[in-house]
Amino acid sequence: MIQIAASPVTDGIMTVLQPDTLLYIGLGIAVGMLVGAFPGVTATMAVALASGFTLTLDPIQGLAVLLTIYVAAQFGDRVPAILINTPGTPASISTTFDGYPLALKGQAGLALTTSAFGSAFGMFVGIIILAVAAVPLSELARQFGPPEMFALVVFGLTMMVGVSSGRIIKGLAAGAFGLLLSTVGRDPITGDARFTLNILELNGGIPFIPVIIGFFGIAEVLNQILTRNRLEHHIKPVAQLGQWMPGRQLMRRLLKPMGIGAATGSVVGLVPAVGGDIAGVIAWENARKVSKHPEEFGKGSMEGLTAGDTSSTATLGGSVTTTMALGVPGDSVMAVMIGSMMIWGIQPGPALFSTHPDLVSSLVTIMVIATVLTLGLSLLRMRGMVRLLELPSHYLWVIILIFCMVGTYSINNSVFDVFMMMVFGAVGLFMLRFGFPAGPAVLGLILGPLAESNLRRALITDGWASIFTSPIAMVLLAIAVAALVVPPVRQHAKRRRIAGTAAEEARVS
Amino acid sequence: MKRITRSLAFGAVGVLAMTGCASGSNSASEAEFPTDDIRLTVPWAAGGSGDLTARTIAPLLERELGVEVIVENKPGANGSVAYNWLKDQEPDGYNLSMMGVEVATLQFQDYDIDPANYAPIGQGLAGPGAIAVPTDSPFETLEDLIEAAKASPGDVTYSSPGVGSVWDSPAQGLQELAGIELTSVPFDGSAPAVAAAAAGDVDFSIDAIGTQKAQVDAGKLRYLAMLTDERDPKNPDVPTAKESGIELTNASWVGIMAPAGTPDEVVQQLSDAMAKAVEDPEYRKVIENSNLVPTFKDSDEMKEFLESEANRYGPWIALAQGK
């Protein structure tokens, strides 16, 4: 190997570039892509299971396996989202918004490739942030106490309007339904049971992954079964439809959504406890607002797909930063990883970067290698994956149903979760048939508990003053209000202008 | 297409195999028990310290018992899903579960969990507690904190990992013993609770010494008092709460249990195997690296311990709910 002057940075890189470490990265990629593609099996679970086997490894090798699973799962989970409308992990919820419509239009191949490029771009932006600005940015994350978290979540909730794809009233109704569902379980502050109906499992709240799988995957399959005759000619044998690589013109159009996605994801990733699921949705909505073709969003927009995917992977760098530099898990995967790191004798926390300066460059190197290899692998593998859609639909339905059930069961080894998935599959079918979008309901379910518990924590400590005296919270709330108020006002103004000009013309003639 | 299905199937098998392949058959034991695989249920999600304890101790138990010990997570509803499941299993020693203090305390929060339904096997570790304040806090001693709380009741806030939890309850005890009123801000687990104290969102954190350690090492938190009988050997300068006249000690703990009715010989055999596992240097290393203390109590000691924990926590939880 080339001899480079020893510094913590090169040391860190060199520890990763050992054959055995690279082997572990390969192992992580294989596991990560598989679990990503399997609905219900989340990156959190895969990392948790793998952590049992990496305990005896040396820390860098162990991190190589765990971090790589995390990275690779982010690519794998887009595949079922695009092909069968079922997010492989919650991080690809926004992928279903445009990815599946694109697949129905016969552009599954192009959607998969574009999504992979977007994901890789997001990943690199996140990694750069980790590499350059980990320590100062983690201080920003520390500013996020309960009032700031509450404001951020409120901002997230305003996305309900955007993901309603035009049906605002029905979207808000679905969102309220999601929020209502999120109140089931134990009260986060007093511990009292709420709406648990004496069902033991409901004490933990309604499990959101089975709900997501039910709303998206099961509901879609049920709907297809019910409308079979009309749909027979609808799903085309996509694999023959030529275009795989996005052309230069398309790429240029996608630069803006990629930028928006990367920026959104980086910021959201830094905030503890919020992950790719929310980041994807927020970026999707941000991109829609600035797009020249907002009407395509939700009906198969490459821009929407790219923005969401770039954003949800861009959170990784932020999550890792927050976790390593604050010792507070950036998301559920990192919560698991903290446990493993402590066993290796690495204590994530503010002191980490000064005591282990080489660790940052090792982390960055692992993530870069994992991203490059996974991107390559996903591009290679996709042609086979898309063939899946060529199957006669009745085979496809059975496969999807079995996958969803096995995946859901394996989350907690719980039959109750499978039952919930089927119940919410039926609810999702009802919503689909009557035009209630599932996106806002899922947002409500995920964000509801965060909004409630953080608001109440803020109120306990200092009352409403704790929110009004926090500049970050006030700015976020102002943005949230603007997000709600500006679009209808602007639309109203536009309508009046059009009406005005029409009246003018009428008068002239 | 076939290839895809097949590769996906392989993937599924692979993931499943990962959970099961931590085996290693050894010489068969002379006794009749065990002859079959043992299932060790974890009532918490994968990845926490309780889960890691299970995964660390399982191969060691395999070595002692000569059969496979299969770890399975059954999280949900504060662990009560797994506890309820265990209650209904055949009491033959082949179905075990990890346990925490909730076995003794959930009954006080309207859960249908009765410690009498279980036969404890043993304790595996303890996480002794501490009170820590932000580094720039005006409180230099526990007395300062108590005085401030006396001067303005309810104004001093603390973060806990959740209401009724192993750390919220001793804070109720502190209020009772010192005759003060504090305000609890419950978080969703220990990590965010300790981080909130480090960021200054609350006045103090009450949690395991090991959980607060990262923030203390980084200079964001400072130990105020240890909730231990003796001073912590790693932090000899920090006084115990007892030294300030507050007779409060508390530690989180993790153990293993079987359903009630499991034959005494089987419980004894499992307990002996667990005693050896807890002594194993490999186990000690993993637990100590997680800033926890490998601690063993046998079946009888655990039975008494569960009872005393229930007696301690019951009134504390009632106190927390009364507010």
> What is the distance, to the nearest Å, from the Cα of residue A213 to the centroid of all Cα atoms in its chain?
14
Of B111, B191, B195, the CB nearest to A335: B191
Query: Which residues does chain A have within 8 Å of residue B8's beta carbon, measured at their own beta carbons?
Result: 34, 37-38
pLDDT at position A504: 63
pLDDT at position A1: 42
Residue whose tokens read 């919650």: A90
Least reliable range by pLDDT among A101-105, A111-115, A213-217, A344-348? A344-348
Chain A (94-123) residues lying within 8 Å, Cβ to Cβ, of chain B: none
pLDDT at position B27: 38
Domains B2-127+252-320 and B128-251 share a fold: yes
Give the H/E segment covering residue B119.
Answer: strand B118-134
How confident is residue B299, by pLDDT bands cut at 50, 70 and 90? Answer: very high
The span from the CA of A389 to the CA of A395, in Å, is 10
Pairing mode of beta strands B204-208, B118-134: antiparallel
What is the chain B residue with the closest CA to A273?
Answer: B192
Give the H/E segment covering residue A256.
Answer: helix A248-270
Residue whose tokens read 């990845």: B47
Residues A235 and A241 sit within 8 Å (Cβ to Cβ)? no
Q: Is A89 exposed, middle or buried (0-12, 13-18, 19+ CB in 10 A)?
A: buried
Please, what is the Cα angle at A98 between A93 and A103, to 5 degrees? 110
Please, what is the Cα angle at A106 between A100 and A112, to 5 degrees? 55
Please tell me which residue, B273 or A157, carries the higher pLDDT value.
B273
Instruction: Name which of A65, A27, A74, A24 is nearest A47 in CA terms.
Output: A65
Cβ of A327 within 8 Å of Cβ of B112? The answer is: no
The answer, yes or no, to whether the previous bond of A329 is cis (omega within 30 of 0) is: no
pLDDT at position A284: 92
pLDDT at position A251: 84
How confident is residue A294, by pLDDT bands cut at 50, 70 and 90? Answer: confident
How does pLDDT run across A62-100, given as a tens digit for each residue?
999 999 999 998 888 888 898 888 888 888 899 999 999
pLDDT at position B1: 43
pLDDT at position B19: 44
In angstroms, what CA-CA distances link A440 with A172, A264, A417, A420? Answer: 7, 19, 21, 19
* pLDDT of B62 over the 90 cut: yes
Residues A403 and A39 sit within 8 Å (Cβ to Cβ)? yes
Give the ranges where A77-232 is alpha helix by DSSP (H): 78-84, 93-104, 108-142, 146-162, 168-182, 208-213, 219-226, 228-231
Residue whose tokens read 């999702």: A428
- Does the CB of A47 have a partner CB in chain B at under 8 Å? yes
DSSP letter string over A437-457?
-HHHHHHHHHHHHHHHHHHHH
DSSP letter string over B157-207?
EEEESSTTSTTHHHHHHHHHHHT---EEEE-SSHHHHHHHHHTTSSSEEEE
Cβ of A191 within 8 Å of Cβ of B183? The answer is: no
Q: Where are the domains of chain B?
A: 2-127+252-320, 128-251
Average pLDDT estimate for B188-199? 87
Query: Which residues does chain B have within 8 Å of residue A340's beta carbon, measured at their own beta carbons?
Result: 52
The CATH homologous superfamily for domain B128-251 is Periplasmic binding protein-like II (3.40.190.10)
pLDDT at position B25: 37
Cβ of A460 within 8 Å of Cβ of B157? The answer is: yes
Disruptive mutation site among B290, B313, B323 for chain A (greatest number of A CBs within 10 Å): B290
Q: Calculate how close chain B gets to A410, using CA atoms only, in Å.
A: 9
How confident is residue B24, by pLDDT bands cut at 50, 70 and 90? Answer: very low
pLDDT at position B267: 95
Chain A (209-268) residues lying within 8 Å, Cβ to Cβ, of chain B: none
Query: Which residues does chain A have within 8 Å of residue B73's beta carbon, measured at their own beta carbons?
Result: 412-413
pLDDT at position A333: 81
pLDDT at position B22: 39
The span from the CA of A315 to the CA of A262, in Å, is 8
- Does the CB of A477 have a partner CB in chain B at under 8 Å? no
Give the H/E segment covering residue A358.
Answer: helix A357-387
Query: Which residues does chain A have within 8 Å of residue B81's beta carbon, measured at their own beta carbons?
Result: 200-201, 204, 414
How confident is residue B46, by pLDDT bands cut at 50, 70 and 90? Answer: confident
The span from the CA of B283 to the CA of B286, in Å, is 5
Of A49, A142, A453, the CB nearest to B46: A49
In sequence order, what are the beta bridge partners of A253?
A: none
- Which string of b and e fits A185-219 if b means at least 16 CB within 10 Å? bbebbebebeebeeebbbbbbbbbbbbbbbbbbbb
Give the H/E segment covering residue B41.
Answer: strand B38-42
Instruction: Name which of A42, A207, A336 is nearest B51 in CA terms.
Output: A336
pLDDT at position A177: 96
> What is this model's ipTM?
0.78
Query: Which residues does chain A have within 8 Å of residue B109's beta carbon, measured at their own beta carbons?
Result: 191
How does pLDDT run across A317-359, given as a tens digit for each residue?
888 888 887 777 777 788 778 878 877 878 777 677 777 778 8
The span from the CA of B74 to the CA of A451, in Å, is 27
Residue whose tokens read 């104290």: B197
pLDDT at position B23: 39
How confident is residue B17, by pLDDT bands cut at 50, 70 and 90? Answer: very low
For chain B, helix, strand, coil in percent to 5 are 45, 20, 35
Please tell me which residue, A1 or B181, carries the higher pLDDT value.
B181
pLDDT at position B156: 95
pLDDT at position A243: 67
Structure tokens at A424: 């919410």
Please tell me which residue, A296 or B23, carries the higher pLDDT value.
A296
Helix, strand counts (H, E) of chain A: 23, 2
Instruction: Name which of B212, B126, B112 is nearest B161 in CA terms.
Output: B212
What is the chain B residue with the closest CA to A391?
Answer: B1
The full length of chain A comes to 509
pLDDT at position B157: 95
* CATH tag, B2-127+252-320: 3.40.190.150
The span from the CA of B130 to the CA of B49, in Å, is 18
User: What rounded mean pLDDT belongs to chain A?
Assistant: 84
Please tell me which residue, A217 or A176, carries the higher pLDDT value.
A176
What letter represents residue B208's amino acid?
Answer: A
* pLDDT of A22 over the 50 cut: yes
* pLDDT of B57 over the 90 cut: yes
Least reliable range by pLDDT among A269-283, B157-171, B231-245? A269-283
How confident is residue A427, by pLDDT bands cut at 50, 70 and 90? Answer: very high
Neighbours of A271 (CB within 10 A): 25
* pLDDT of B203 over the 70 cut: yes
Of B5, B80, B162, the CB nearest to A200: B80
Average pLDDT estimate for A303-307? 94
- Which string of b and e fits B4-19 if b means at least 16 CB within 10 Å? beeebeebbeebeeeb
- Does the CB of A459 have a partner CB in chain B at under 8 Å? no
pLDDT at position A242: 53
